Amino acid sequence: MKDADGKRRLPVVKSASPAPDEPPPRPPWHWVVLGAVGTLLAWLPLAWVGGRVTEAVLTDAFAGATTAEDVAAVVDGMSSSQKWLLYAVVVGMPGLALGFAAVLGGLLVGRFGGAAGKKEATLAGVAAALLASVVVARGLIDSNGFVVWLGTAGIIAVIAGAGGRLGGALGLRLRRRAETAGAPPRAPSGDDR
C-alpha cells in the first residue's frame, strides 16, 4: 500500500481496550481484605444481638442469684439437659453470630469478587477471625492464659473460615446465575479456587 507521496503506510489495527470509565479488575487478594472487613462489619450487630439473647437467658436462669454460691446452687439444681442448653446458648450465640457474618463476607467475595473465588472467601473469614483474636489478645491472655487464647483463636478461625467458604460458594452460584440470566456481569468470572 503506497500513498501518493510514495511512502508505504501500514494499516492501523485498533486494540480492544477496556472502556475508559471501567476501572481495572481488582486482584484476588484485595477481595480477601474486603471480605474480612465485610465479615467484621456484619459481626458487630450480630454479636450484639447474640449478647442480648444470652443475657436474657442468663438473667432468666439465674434470677435472684447474687453470689457465686447462689449461682452454683442454681446450676446444681439444673437437669443435665438444662445445663447443656445453657452452655449451648452461652457458647453457641457468639459462634453463630460469627459464622453467619462470615457467610455474608464470603457471599460478598463470591458474588462480586472478579477473579476471587472460594479460596479468597475462606481466607477473608480466617483473616477477620484472626484480627478479632489479636484485638482481644491482651485481655484474654491476662485473664485465662496464652493457651486458652490460642485455642479460642483457632476455634473462631475454623468457624469463620468455614462460613466464608460457604458464603463464597453461594456468591459464586449467584454470580453464575446472574451471568446466565443475561444480566451484565459486574466483574470477570473467577475460578472455583
At 32 the pLDDT is 95
Domain presence at residue 80:
yes
Radius of gyration of the chain (CA): 26
Domain presence at residue 16:
no
CA-wise closest residue to 111 among 101, 98, 120, 100: 120
**Model confidence pLDDT, tens digit, residues 131-157:** 999 998 988 889 889 998 999 999 999
At 171 the pLDDT is 94
Domain presence at residue 187:
no
Domain presence at residue 157:
yes
Domain presence at residue 74:
yes
Domain presence at residue 17:
no
Domain presence at residue 169:
yes
| Contact call for residues 135 and 126 (beta carbons, < 8 A) | no
Q: Which range of residues forms the domain containing residue 95?
A: 28-180
How remote is the C-alpha of 159 from its chain's centroid?
10
| Contact call for residues 149 and 141 (beta carbons, < 8 A) | yes
Residues 162 and 146: their CA atoms lie apart, in Å, by: 24
The count of domains in the chain is 1
pLDDT bracket for residue 6 (50, 70, 90) = confident
At 70, the amino acid letter reads D
pLDDT bracket for residue 65 (50, 70, 90) = confident
Domain presence at residue 154:
yes
pLDDT bracket for residue 66 (50, 70, 90) = confident
**Model confidence pLDDT, tens digit, residues 77-134:** 999 998 899 888 988 999 999 999 999 999 999 999 888 899 999 999 999 999 999 9
Q: Tell whether the model's pLDDT for residue 1 goes beyond 70.
A: no
Q: What percent of the chain has pLDDT over 90?
A: 49
At 7 the pLDDT is 80
Task: Report how far apart, in Å, the C-alpha atoms of 140 and of each of 21, 26, 143, 165 are.
Answer: 49, 36, 5, 27
